[in-house]
Structure 1
Amino acid sequence: MRVTRVALLCTAIACPAAAQEFTNPSGSSVKLYGQLSPAYLSYDDGQESNAGLVDNNNSNSRVGITVNWPFADETSLKFNFETSLGFFQSNNLNITSFDGQQWYSWSENDIRKLEVSYQADFGTVWLGQGDMATDKIAEIDFSKTTIIGYSDYQAVAGGFAFRESDGTLSSIKIKNVFINLEGSRRMRLRYDTPDFNGFKFSAAAGENVLSGDNKYYYDAAIRYENTLGDVKLGAGLGYNYTVPKDGGDSTEAVMGSVSALHEPSGVNGTIALGQYMDGGDYVYVKAGWTGDIWDIGATSLAAEYYSSNDIGLDGSGSSWGLMAVQALKEQSTELYAGYRSYGLDSETVSYDDSDSFMVGARWKF
């Protein structure tokens, strides 16, 4: 099994791109696409450590098909099916993994998209499993390092629990404290307006049919993207509202992000933040640079910092990280490495600091 995993990593680095798109004379098209995203993740909770080969949950291995039917007056109908490949995810690794767990196990929960959309001059309507309106609203990031880290902080080592200073393994995990509050993929109805001078509004309503969590989800978001002189600018603001079907307490949150890239120099910066309406908030900042050191592809470097208050515990969480990504243009591949340090501050319990390191490759086809 270990040989197979190493072979997968080598394949992702070495293979050429093989995307397939077929178009007929009427203009309709079929596109087959996918990616492999293997990585090696290690984590130290201050007293114990674990490491293993995983699938990078920042952008996991997947395959998909898109079918597009264009009509008159610039209208079109599109079908999209996309699924993860079922490999063991980086945010599921913990101190005891892989005890009793499989490195490969596909289920219907791995279906990312199963949707149709209709685009016309009034905007776009989406129906089926896919992105809610606030999905990625706190992830606007022009650093070209999102494969190794961005505001969805828990995607790297979210399954690891913090260690109390007396040696007790707590129930508080990375994914409980370091979150960005935005929406995810649901079975939903969504509407996007046309682009108005860089602005676009979205709204959606849905439920989690695949895992059946007994909740209704509603959200709305506004996005902006434009180039102002030498600066590429993107921003977004979202609101989501979650209601249990059994009439329990609802949850409300706001979140957003802004990113700017000075294109001549490659210098970039990103800020993401969010808050539960009844308390608990976070802020994420990143500063980076992208440039062409070698002819093989762009090099991207970044540093990040995350701070949260009263999310996942009565106290605060903080983390900083460093990351590097090297693109290989001819191979449609990115090589990456990233380090993060984590800490919790509570008035009642003392926790050890912890850290994670991940290195891997993403090959798109």
Structure 2
Amino acid sequence: MPVATERKDFIFNIVAGLSLSLSAGAVVAQEVEAESPWKAYGQLNVGILSFDDGEVNTNYGLVDNDNSSTRIGVFYNGQAGSTGWTTMGNMEFQYNPKSTSNVSQINPDGGSTEITKANIRKIEIRFSNDQYGRVWLGQGSMVSDGIAGQDVSGTGTIAGAATGDSAGASLFRQKDGILSDESVGEATDHFNGLGRRVRLRYDTPEYNGFRGGVSYGQDLLSDDPDRQKQGLIDIAGYYAQERNGYLINGGIGYGHNLDTKRDVFSGSISGLHLDSGLSLTLAAGTNSEDGLTGTYGYTKVGWETDFFDIGSTAFSIDYYAGNSISQDGDNSGSIGAAVVQNLGYQQLWFTVRKFTYDRETTDYYDGLAVFGGTRLRF
């Protein structure tokens, strides 16, 4: 193993160990003060996916929904005496070997069934104070993670700016019959911040619905030594407020890779009229890397109402348009319709989504995904 990899694994072990130790300490301290210092949670989110690439219809059977993957976790809260500070520890893992993110026409069985560090979503601790804000340490979300996914439509389980998540690894077919290596997910990227990394993050206190933050991190869970070394920094601002009969969530953020010089700028806003259940969601972003600058825009119109006593029903239609997302000058698009039925801790969901891809030198068939399933939370 290269020396750089060993060093990064060592750093990761130190950070992860520190987070676990601090978190465990918070649990022990809180057990003295409260009956329920910790809470386990998770979700199973699976469905049956069919993808038509213009010539061949592939039925993948039961797969994990990458819009919101299957996961399990535990978190706990503690009060640091009378200082006004609280601590929160969080560990979260996912296991989705057969997912919309890895099943394709040439790989219908999905990815590896082994459990590796790639299954780790979060190992972190947070220190919070109403006056001073929040400090995060460990593997978890950079401050811009999720910046393009602000969505109060009620159909976010299956439909959002990440339009490719419903069939991300499925491949477009060229009109000469050849299956291309261009995937739906690559062609419809929505530049959703810098993701989850081992990072140090600070969030400001909330003021009239506004809060901001900044973070620095590295992808120490990557198997690529060069990627592990890369420094990532981002800044973001968020707004969440219910006022005058409307619920509005929004965010805007900027991220930068100090080594590759990648720049990503994206944001989203979503508003819900509480009386009517009507909602509008907008997202847009740009990404510059290796001389390629990609841009996209996204719009969703939704409606949530109470048809049944068992829970609300949400509907939406949305549209995505991207330019130079995967290659310079290409154009990608998606239009979809979705419905989500809430049943307490369970949801039933269904979507139909069309994907388009155009390149000056090659003609492609449109792709059509039909995906229905359920999310069970606990």
Code of the residue aligned with 2:33 in structure 1: it is S
Identical aligned residues as a percent: 33
Q: Which residue of 1 aligns with 2:373?
A: 360
Of Structure 1 and Structure 2, the greater helix share is in: 2
- 1:259 counterpart = 2:252: no
The SS at the match of 1:175 is: helix
What is the CA–CA distance in structure 1 between the aligned matches of 2:309 and 2:113, rounded to whole Å?
36
Correspondent of 2:58 among 39, 50, 53:
50
Report how far residue 36 of structure 1 moved. 0.9
Q: Which residue of 1 aligns with 2:33?
A: 26
What is the CA–CA distance in structure 2 between the aligned matches of 1:336 and 1:116, rounded to whole Å?
33
| Residues 114-146 of structure 1: per-residue CA shift (max 9 Å, x gap) | 001111221111011000111111100001101
What is the CA–CA distance in structure 1 between the aligned matches of 2:88 and 2:373, rounded to whole Å?
33
Does the Cα contact within 8 Å between 2:69 and 2:96 map onto a contact in 1?
no
Q: Which residue of 2 aligns with 1:116?
A: 125
- Note the residue ranges of structure 1 that are not aligned, 5 or more in a row: 1-20
Report how far residue 68 of structure 1 moved. 1.3
The normalised TM-score by structure 1 is: 0.89
Count of matched residue positions in the alignment of Structure 1 and Structure 2? 338
Q: Which residue of 2 aligns with 1:209?
A: 220
Report how far residue 25 of structure 1 moved. 5.9
The 5 Å alignment of 1:129-278 reads 129-181=139-191, 182-213=193-224, 214=227, 215-244=230-259, 249-277=260-288
The SS at the match of 1:280 is: strand
Does the Cα contact within 8 Å between 2:103 and 2:111 map onto a contact in 1?
no
What is the CA–CA distance in structure 2 between the aligned matches of 1:312 and 1:42, rounded to whole Å?
24
What is the CA–CA distance in structure 1 between the aligned matches of 2:240 and 2:57, rounded to whole Å?
42
When the two chains are superposed, the root-mean-square deviation of aligned CA atoms in Å is 1.8
What is the CA–CA distance in structure 2 between the aligned matches of 1:77 and 1:228, rounded to whole Å?
30
What is the CA–CA distance in structure 2 between the aligned matches of 1:74 and 1:65, rounded to whole Å?
23
Q: 1:102 to 1:231 in 2, by over 3 A?
A: closer
What is the CA–CA distance in structure 2 between the aligned matches of 1:359 and 1:216, rounded to whole Å?
39
The SS at the match of 2:251 is: strand
- Note the residue ranges of structure 2 that are not aligned, 5 or more in a row: 1-26
Report how far residue 360 of structure 1 moved. 0.6
What is the CA–CA distance in structure 1 between the aligned matches of 2:231 and 2:78, rounded to whole Å?
32
What is the CA–CA distance in structure 2 between the aligned matches of 1:241 and 1:326, rounded to whole Å?
39
Code of the residue aligned with 2:134 in structure 1: it is T
Q: Which residue of 1 aligns with 2:93?
A: 83
What is the CA–CA distance in structure 2 between the aligned matches of 1:129 and 1:212, rounded to whole Å?
15
Q: 1:282 to 1:123 in 2, by over 3 A?
A: same
The 5 Å alignment of 1:241-320 reads 241-244=256-259, 249-277=260-288, 279-313=293-327, 314-320=329-335
Does the Cα contact within 8 Å between 2:282 and 2:298 map onto a contact in 1?
yes
Code of the residue aligned with 1:26 in structure 2: it is E
Code of the residue aligned with 1:351 in structure 2: it is Y
What is the CA–CA distance in structure 2 between the aligned matches of 1:112 and 1:270, rounded to whole Å?
27
Code of the residue aligned with 2:374 in structure 1: it is A
After TM superposition, the structure 1 stretch with the greater mean CA deviation from structure 2, 104-113 or 125-134, is: 104-113
